[in-house]
Structure 1
């Protein structure tokens, strides 16, 4: 029963050591991962600072660095706690081994003293021959043999305990050294954290002075994009209307010519023909009408203009810094270098550079889609495009520095909320 208790105790100790080892390994992996992310952010920050401009992107990098730095300090604290526990356990083990070693040495010394006092062969023989009978003599002989064997085992045990003690002391010193290294790393991270917080304060001050000007520039650019988009759409409608009116005039002229040749007159309508709506004009041809119908049939299922992204500004009115503005589309933040793509089949109506970025407008029957803030364009006006075909690459937002594309959707010249037309994510 006592053996089972000892065995259970040893199993518990080994399990606790294994769990702690696993925990320490996981903490080290976390620390290494955070170091890699910090190095990447440092490179991005260096690139940003080379431009000698404080931008929101720089501030976002600093915020991310501070967050990671705090995480790393927390991880180091966890590692230090594990090492403290390991140091405490190893210290207890060293004390226990020292106590066992002292006890073994004392017992061994007593045996050596006893053997010294009885080292004479005559005394041993007298001890054997003084037995009452043969059995007792045999037992006394076996006792002397076992005593010698036990003394040898005790000497071996002392040597083994000394080796175990030396290993534990080396392990304890190594653990203390690891803890010292971690504490130095922790102090370094705290210093870096303080510096980054100071840099953050400076960046915030710089951004505060620049932000209003940047927002004014961004708003002016958005208004220019909106003006050009509406002008293009209006021109499309007017061109289609002129074409329809020219066709109608040609048809009437042909009827009059035929009537004159036949000696009859063309009867004028009793009341003026109603002016056609924009939808009727844009859907004047069977091809345009079919494309409009197909586009409408995909409402709520259109692919996004970028493969991955998040809406940062929706459709409708919004207020920034007390300035009320109107958004006729969606601002979609995406990944750097993201491809901007057509959401449906159509024909490119316009490709134009607006204040340093590209605007692309595509007609899908009576529907038109507009893609702005592209840093490059890969299509040309008059070109037919298919669903998800690349139009260019998304550019950086002038205020935040994030990669962003602005997407608008018009029906017969009227802006509609694009979000209800896009597929759910």
Structure 2
């Protein structure tokens, strides 16, 4: 029973260690990915630092860097928590093994003392010959044999338990060293976060001196974006109206066909001198909603369902990048503006990819920058700020198919990405993978 208990404890220990190791690996990969994003943003900041004029991109980059630094510290905290759990589990296992080892040694010592007292072959023979009958003599011989075998097994158990104990102590020491390293890394990241926040304060101080120029830049950005958003909305509205007209035309053709069939049936009844069948009441044809119109065909309905089913799992529109401006209202000093999508800072010359299969609704260059709109049934994705475009209006695209190359805006290559349902804007971060 003690042996079974020991094996069960070791099994649980190995299982728990495997689960913790898997989590540690995931956290380590996440931390490394965050660090790569931070380093890329720092490169962009270093390039922009030589410029005397403060830009909105610089502010967004600093804010994104602070956010990523905080996320990295949170990941380190999770790693430390995992190590604390592992240390606790290994400490409990060590104590259990020490207890089991003590009991095994105690039992083994008792057997050694018994064997010492009965080490003489004459004593063993007397023990056997003192039996009442042959059956008891046979059992005593088997007992002596089994006792010898059990003593050897007990010695093996002690040796194996000692090895397991030494191994667990080594793992415990290694885990404690890893925790110390993580605590040092955490302290360094806190120092860097403090420097980032100081840099943020310095930038905001610089912003107050350039307030007038900065407000003009934001106003110019709003005007440019308004023109682009108007073109996007107009294209989507045209697609919605075309879908509704097509649905209405199909309903009209179906009604005309039904009326013609009823007229033919009435004429046949008249020719055959029998009562004409009662005319059916024409159904009330209502205008389809936007969702119904955009998913009227089986293909469009399938694309819509597929897009919606992949919420939170859609691939990014670029292979690598960082969200440096999020969805919604933004306020910088006294100025404010709204982003209907997200801005993703990526590498120069990065390929832009369709996040899902669909049909290209529009390719248009506005102020020298390419805009691509792709329909996925009732869902629509918008890719803005492309240097060149490799698809055309009306063409079909597959998931992750390259549709162009992102343009460099100022010091950074930034893709502006939107997700819409009809003409309603949605937060893209809720749709792309984490």
Structure 1 length-normalised TM? 0.54
Establish whether residue 22 from structure 1 lines up as the match of residue 22 from structure 2.
yes
Q: 1:220 to 1:17 in 2, by over 3 A?
A: closer
Q: 1:4 to 1:222 in 2, by over 3 A?
A: closer
CA distance in 1, matches of 2:86, 2:113: 40
Cα distance per residue 1:12-56 (max 9 Å; x no partner): 666554443333232222112111111111111111113354433
Establish whether residue 114 from structure 1 lines up as the match of residue 142 from structure 2.
no
Cα offset for 1:92? 0.8
CA distance in 2, matches of 1:332, 1:97: 58
CA distance in 2, matches of 1:92, 1:78: 21
Residue 179 (structure 2) aligns with? 179
CA distance in 1, matches of 2:195, 2:129: 89
Residue 35 (structure 1) aligns with? 35
Residue 416 (structure 1) aligns with? none
Give the SS at the match of 1:173.
helix
Residue 102 (structure 1) aligns with? 102
Residue 411 (structure 1) aligns with? none
Residue 44 (structure 1) aligns with? 44
CA distance in 2, matches of 1:163, 1:4: 18
CA distance in 2, matches of 1:31, 1:16: 22
Cα offset for 1:113? 1.6
Cα offset for 1:214? 3.8
Residues 314-333 of structure 1: pairs in structure 2 closer than 5 A: none
Cα offset for 1:215? 3.5
Residue 166 (structure 1) aligns with? 166
Residue 92 (structure 2) aligns with? 92
Q: 1:36 to 1:217 in 2, by over 3 A?
A: closer
Unaligned runs of 5+ in 1: 224-294, 314-319, 324-329, 349-356, 360-373, 378-385, 405-421
Residue 154 (structure 2) aligns with? 154
Cα offset for 1:146? 1.3
Residue 249 (structure 1) aligns with? none
Residue 60 (structure 1) aligns with? 60
Residue 203 (structure 1) aligns with? 203
CA distance in 1, matches of 2:171, 2:333: 61
CA distance in 1, matches of 2:117, 2:326: 95
Q: 1:3 to 1:84 in 2, by over 3 A?
A: same
Q: 1:198 to 1:6 in 2, by over 3 A?
A: same
Structure 2 length-normalised TM? 0.53
CA distance in 2, matches of 1:80, 1:221: 44
Pick the structure with greater CA Rg.
1
Cα offset for 1:94? 0.8
Establish whether residue 127 from structure 1 lines up as the match of residue 123 from structure 2.
no
The CA RMSD measured in Å over matched residues stands at 5.4
8 Å CA contact 1:300, 1:424 repeated in 2: no
Q: 1:300 to 1:12 in 2, by over 3 A?
A: same
8 Å CA contact 1:300, 1:423 repeated in 2: no
Residues 270-289 of structure 1: pairs in structure 2 closer than 5 A: none
Q: 1:140 to 1:219 in 2, by over 3 A?
A: closer
Count of matched residue positions in the alignment of Structure 1 and Structure 2:
298
Give the SS at the match of 1:57.
helix
Cα offset for 1:105? 1.2
8 Å CA contact 1:45, 1:58 repeated in 2: yes
Q: 1:217 to 1:80 in 2, by over 3 A?
A: closer
Q: 1:97 to 1:111 in 2, by over 3 A?
A: same
Residue 236 (structure 1) aligns with? none
Cα offset for 1:402? 7.0
Cα distance per residue 1:244-277 (max 9 Å; x no partner): xxxxxxxxxxxxxxxxxxxxxxxxxxxxxxxxxx
Give the SS at the match of 1:132.
coil
Residue 80 (structure 2) aligns with? 80
8 Å CA contact 1:27, 1:75 repeated in 2: yes
Give the SS at the match of 2:210.
helix
CA distance in 2, matches of 1:56, 1:79: 35
Cα offset for 1:121? 1.8
Cα distance per residue 1:223-253 (max 9 Å; x no partner): 9xxxxxxxxxxxxxxxxxxxxxxxxxxxxxx
CA distance in 2, matches of 1:89, 1:321: 51
